[in-house]
């Protein structure tokens, strides 16, 4: 394998993949690299695995190339796993990071620190035309704070304290966050799996 598609139109997401896969001699292209109009793929699944696989398989079938699909989100124990697969649109259809985290803080009102455990989850699905799709799950464990702190990152970063850090993800430098992120964990697991196949 010398080329893989990352089923995203988000150039930021692709950077980390390009670096890590590049070291193995695998070129990573995204949906931005194709001239064809590629419709938005609906995330109709109820699990991260299902959504990641839908994205990977749709694109792998269309272009007949190995494809990685991803899905990620925040899982909060005291909320029974919410916002989960609905993380991007938790406060409504329109994607709004500020409203989403405010909704989470409101729902956690009255929940004490020891019960505010949570984790970011990233699932990567790897689809190869004609073969069974595999999935790898990465996590970043932590707790939810009581107010937003920090300006780096995106999404729920300002309210998420990774385990063993006194800072939120939004207070970490991008490299520091990448080193402990759910996305990096999932990428590492997928890379291990790909290496084992050779």
The reply to whether 49 sits near ligand IMP by the rule CB under 6 A is: no
CA 139 to chain centre: 9
CA 7 to chain centre: 12
Q: How many residues does the chain have?
A: 198
Residue (29 or 88) nearer to ligand IMP, CB: 88
Q: Which of 4, 157, 162, 180 binds ligand IMP (CB under 6 A)?
A: 157
Q: Which of 155, 159, 161, 191 binds ligand IMP (CB under 6 A)?
A: 155
Angle formed at CA 107 by CA 103 and CA 109, multiple of 5 degrees: 120
The reply to whether 71 sits near ligand IMP by the rule CB under 6 A is: yes
Q: Which of 17, 59, 68, 73 binds ligand IMP (CB under 6 A)?
A: 73
Structure tokens at 77: 């124990």
The reply to whether 156 sits near ligand IMP by the rule CB under 6 A is: yes
> C-beta of 2: minimal distance to ligand IMP in Å?
27
Q: What is the four-CA torsion angle of 83, 86, 89, 93, rounded to 10 degrees?
A: -130
The reply to whether 153 sits near ligand IMP by the rule CB under 6 A is: yes
Q: Which of 145, 143, 135, 137 is nearest to 182 (CA)?
A: 137
> C-beta of 121: minimal distance to ligand IMP in Å?
8
Judged by CB under 6 A, the stretch of 28-36, 59-67, 127-135, 152-160 that binds ligand IMP is: 152-160
Question: d(Cα 6, Cα 42) in Å, to the nearest integer?
Answer: 16
Q: Which residues are catalytic?
A: 71
């Amino acid at each position: 394998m010398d080329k893989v598609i990352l089923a995203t139109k988000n150039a930021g997401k692709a950077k980390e993949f390009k670096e890590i896969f590049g070291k193995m001699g695998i070129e990573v292209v995204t949906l931005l690299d194709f001239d064809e109009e590629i419709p938005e793929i609906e995330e109709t699944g109820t699990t991260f695995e299902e959504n990641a696989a839908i994205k990977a398989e749709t694109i792998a079938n269309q272009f007949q190339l190995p494809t990685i699909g991803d899905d990620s989100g925040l899982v909060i124990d005291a909320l029974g796993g919410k916002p989960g697969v609905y993380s991007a649109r938790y406060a409504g259809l329109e994607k709004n990071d500020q409203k989403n985290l405010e909704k989470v803080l409101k729902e956690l009102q009255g929940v004490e620190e020891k019960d505010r455990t949570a984790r970011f989850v990233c699932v990567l699905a790897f689809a190869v035309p004609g073969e069974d799709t595999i999935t790898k799950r990465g996590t970043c464990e932590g707790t939810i704070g009581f107010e937003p702190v920090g300006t780096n990152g995106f999404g729920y970063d300002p309210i998420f304290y990774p385990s063993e850090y006194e800072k939120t993800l939004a207070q970490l430098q991008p490299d520091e966050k990448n080193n402990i992120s759910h996305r990096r964990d999932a990428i590492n697991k997928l890379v291990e799996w790909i290496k084992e196949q050779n």
